[in-house]
């Protein structure tokens, strides 16, 4: 039964709510497991790190109102992404930082 079929459900409201919560937890578990699997791939970690940098994870805020609003949205995305990563694999964020530092050092050494 989908969320949209609740009007057909003659069970008690508490049972309906419990079922909605169970489905919500199940979806979250699937998402968390998918992210954990993806974090095992170096290329995905690199992409996520680039996304965090694009979101301004290490930039100072601007004083221009328009820019500040845009940066706040990007910051919200980076905070969400860091929380998601940290919840499924607490060591992944540090690993991503270390790999990014190594890539940067390799670029410096090549020049």
> Model confidence over 28-72: pLDDT tens digits?
999 999 999 999 999 999 999 999 999 988 877 667 888 888 888
Cα separations in angstroms, 84 against 6, 9, 33, 90: 30, 33, 11, 10
- What's the confidence (pLDDT) of residue 6? 57
Helix (H) or strand (E) holding 41: none
Cβ neighbors of 75 (< 8 A, separation 6 or more) are 55, 56
d(CA 32, CA 100): 23
**Count of other CB atoms within 10 angstroms of residue 52:** 22
Domain ranges of the chain: 39-110
The closest of 7, 24, 96 to 57, measured between CA atoms, is: 96
Q: What is the mean pLDDT of the chain?
A: 89
Q: What is the 3-state secondary structure (H, E, C) of 1-33?
A: CCHHHHHHCCCCHHHHHHHHHHHHHHHHHHHHH
């Amino acid at each position: 039964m989908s969320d949209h079929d609740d009007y057909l459900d003659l069970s008690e409201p508490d049972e309906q709510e419990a079922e909605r919560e169970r489905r919500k937890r199940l979806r979250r578990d699937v998402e968390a497991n998918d992210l954990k699997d993806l974090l095992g791939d170096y290329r995905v970690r690199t992409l996520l790190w680039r996304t965090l940098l694009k979101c301004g994870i290490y930039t100072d805020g601007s004083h221009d109102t328009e820019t500040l609003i845009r940066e706040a949205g990007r910051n919200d995305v980076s905070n969400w992404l860091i929380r998601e990563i940290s919840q499924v694999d607490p060591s992944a964020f540090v690993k991503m930082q270390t790999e990014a530092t190594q890539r940067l050092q390799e670029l410096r050494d090549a020049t």
